[in-house]
Amino acid sequence: MRRSFIAGNWKMHKTPAEAKALAEELKAGLAGCGHKILIAPSFTALESVASVVKGSNILLGAQNMATVEQGAHTGETSVLMLKAIGVDAVILGHSERRHVYGETDEMINEKVKLALANGLEAILCVGETLDERESGKAESVVKTQTEAGLKGVSEAELDKVTIAYEPVWAIGTGKTATPDDADQIHKVTRDTVKSLYSEDAAEKMVIQYGGSVKPENAAQLMGMENIDGALVGGASLKADLFLPIAEYDK
């Protein structure tokens, strides 16, 4: 039985003080929650949020990191810096990183391996664009991104990997994949893990859905056989929206 994993991606929102206030509300609201929960503020708010969630049942996430540990990389943030702050997991290959900032499968794979080598969990994001979906390529795109993202990752390391399926056309648009359509791609993703590793690895892999998840659709999406949680953007910025998603009943 896979444990539900709900993550909030705060993107480029909230100052350190605002982030701390939201983290405090979530910590109080989720004290009795049995699901795995993570919040990912921007880099500048990591430290203030870390001071709130430390020792609680909320994990701390970062939204990106560099492909290397240190060096002449102006504007980048190292895995070592994240670890030192107390970050537990890193969101990697988010579609905004892929499509706005030109991150390639190779770069994302480097980051996944580096995060794991340093003991952090990785949330590997995959998902097709609207063009790719309309030309019938959704399944092959997700399969390719999953294979490329996990290249060189051992089966033993997979317990620190979560995959997030986020159709690009559903992110921040209010459009959601139907639960059946989403489940179908989750199944393809799980089958890809099976062909890369084993049936056991595929059974254990937690695969989140992301893209306009709201309190109204969360339970239905996460109730699907292959959907094990959610990566939530917009609705993770307000406690009264994120709390009911995080506390949904499967």
Q: Could you list the residues that contact ligand PGA (CB under 6 A)?
A: 9, 166, 171-172, 210-213, 231-235
- DSSP string covering the chain: -PPPEEEEE-TT---HHHHHHHHHHHHHHTTT--SEEEEE--GGGHHHHHHHHTTSSEEEEES---SSSSSS-TT---HHHHHHHT--EEEES-HHHHHTS---HHHHHHHHHHHHHTT-EEEEEE---HHHHHTT-HHHHHHHHHHHHTTT--GGGGGGEEEEE--GGGTTSS----HHHHHHHHHHHHHHHHHHS-HHHHHH-EEEEESS--HHHHHHHHTSTT--EEEESGGGSSHHHHHHHHT---
User: Which CB atom, from 93 or from 211, has the smaller least distance to ligand PGA?
Assistant: 211
Residue nearest to ligand PGA (CB): 233
Nearer to ligand PGA, 170 or 202 (CB): 170
Q: Is 94 labeled as catalytic in the residue annotation? A: yes
Instruction: Give me the least distance between CB of 206 and ligand PGA, in Å please.
Output: 15
Q: Which DSSP string do the residues of 62-98 spell out, in sequence order? A: ES---SSSSSS-TT---HHHHHHHT--EEEES-HHHH
Identify whether the C-beta of residue 44 lies closer than 8 Å to the C-beta of residue 90.
no
Residue (32 or 174) nearer to ligand PGA, CB: 174
Q: Is 166 tagged catalytic?
A: yes
To ligand PGA, the closest distance from the beta carbon of 232 in angstroms equals: 5
Which of 35, 94, 139, 247 is catalytic? The answer is 94
Looking at the Cβ atoms of 189 and 202, the one nearer to ligand PGA is 189
Q: Give me the least distance between CB of 150 and ligand PGA, in Å please.
A: 20
- CA 192 to the chain's CA centroid: 18
Nearer to ligand PGA by Cβ, of 202 and 217: the residue is 217
Minimal distance, residue 91 CB to ligand PGA, in Å:
8
Residue numbers annotated as active site: 94, 166
